[in-house]
């Protein structure tokens, strides 16, 4: 059975209940909107409920899980990956394969500019400029062997997460969001439907209630409990 991670949290004076939703093993053959409707739909009680989907599973259904051994790595990727700062959140672009994917997604010039400026500002004690300049498509790349969903694949960030969230909301009759969460406290809203505030949904997902490993609960329904 899934492990329930801190099911109730307080956000802006509201009590938020977070309900992980178990699914089958999601693949490229799945439609993420229909997956959400099948598993989370029966739990929705109100238009104010929010169905959260992990950005990884959205990307997988979009065919954005790339076998690592099929990625052709160029000279620039082989040079730059060594300079990426390793963080507790994961490998990120600190591998030749993920760096090459970032170059493919964002372009050689943007990644090179991000690397140069990031190195310059890092020398003055400022971190994170590489990802700020490279952009969201670079920041949401997950290295191979970091997700049990597709362990031999680099998983790119999802395409058009705002549109995916809107389609989910329409299908489910409640609010929806695509989130990138990690186990060290990070929570990042990549796409969300009308009626949701980015800061609120990110606060509500702190601590990562989404089980993306053995729990197999990449969906979470969150509900504001009546006071």
What is the pLDDT, as a whole number, of residue 1? 36
In tens, the pLDDT along 29-86 reads 999 999 999 999 999 999 999 999 999 999 999 999 999 999 999 999 999 998 877 6
CATH 3.30.1330.100 fits 8-64+158-224, yes or no: yes
- Tell me if 18 sits within 8 A of 8, measured CB to CB: yes
What is the pLDDT, as a whole number, of residue 150? 84
What is the pLDDT, as a whole number, of residue 7? 86
Alpha helices in 49-181 (DSSP H): 55-61, 75-80, 96-106, 108-122, 129-134, 136-139, 161-172
What is the pLDDT, as a whole number, of residue 208? 77
Question: What is the distance between the alpha carbons of residues 6 and 215, in angstroms, rounded to a whole number?
Answer: 14
Integer-rounded Cα radius of gyration of the chain: 18
Question: Tokens for 147?
Answer: 């997700």
Give the closest residue to 54 by CA, choosing from 20, 103, 83, 96.
Answer: 20
Write 132-139 long-range contacts (CB < 8 A, 24+): 134/102, 134/106, 134/110, 135/106, 135/110, 136/190, 137/102, 137/105, 137/106, 138/93, 138/102, 138/105, 138/106, 138/111, 138/114, 139/92
In tens, the pLDDT along 42-54 reads 999 999 999 999 9
- Tell me if 179 sits within 8 A of 171, measured CB to CB: no
What is the pLDDT, as a whole number, of residue 17? 93
What is the pLDDT, as a whole number, of residue 215? 60
**What's the CA angle centered on 203, arms 55 and 58, to 5 degrees?**
10
What is the pLDDT, as a whole number, of residue 220? 94
- Tell me if 172 sits within 8 A of 38, measured CB to CB: no
Low-confidence ranges of the chain (pLDDT < 70): 1-5, 86-90, 182-186, 210-215, 226-227
Locate the domains of the chain by residue range. 8-64+158-224, 66-155
């Amino acid at each position: 059975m899934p492990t329930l991670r801190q099911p109730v949290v307080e956000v802006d004076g509201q009590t938020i209940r977070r309900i992980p939703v178990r699914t089958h093993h999601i693949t490229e053959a799945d439609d993420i909107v229909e997956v959400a409707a099948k598993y989370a739909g029966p739990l929705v009680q109100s238009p104010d409920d929010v169905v959260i989907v992990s950005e990884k599973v959205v990307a997988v259904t979009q065919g954005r899980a790339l076998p690592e051994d099929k990625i052709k790595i160029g000279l620039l990727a082989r040079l730059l990956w060594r300079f990426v700062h390793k963080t507790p959140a994961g490998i990120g672009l600190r591998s030749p394969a993920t760096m090459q994917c970032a170059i493919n997604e964002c372009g050689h010039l943007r990644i090179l500019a991000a690397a140069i400026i990031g190195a310059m500002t890092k020398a003055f004690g400022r971190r994170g400029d590489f990802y700020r300049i490279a952009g969201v498509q670079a920041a949401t790349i997950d290295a191979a062997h970091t997700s049990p969903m597709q362990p031999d694949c680099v998983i790119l960030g999802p395409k058009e997460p705002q549109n995916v969230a809107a389609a989910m909301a329409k299908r489910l009759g409640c609010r929806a969001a695509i989130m990138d969460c990690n186990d060290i406290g990070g929570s990042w809203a990549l796409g969300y439907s009308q009626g949701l505030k980015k800061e609120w949904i990110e606060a509500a997902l702190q601590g990562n209630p989404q089980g993306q490993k053995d729990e197999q609960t990449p969906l979470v329904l969150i509900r504001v409990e009546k006071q």
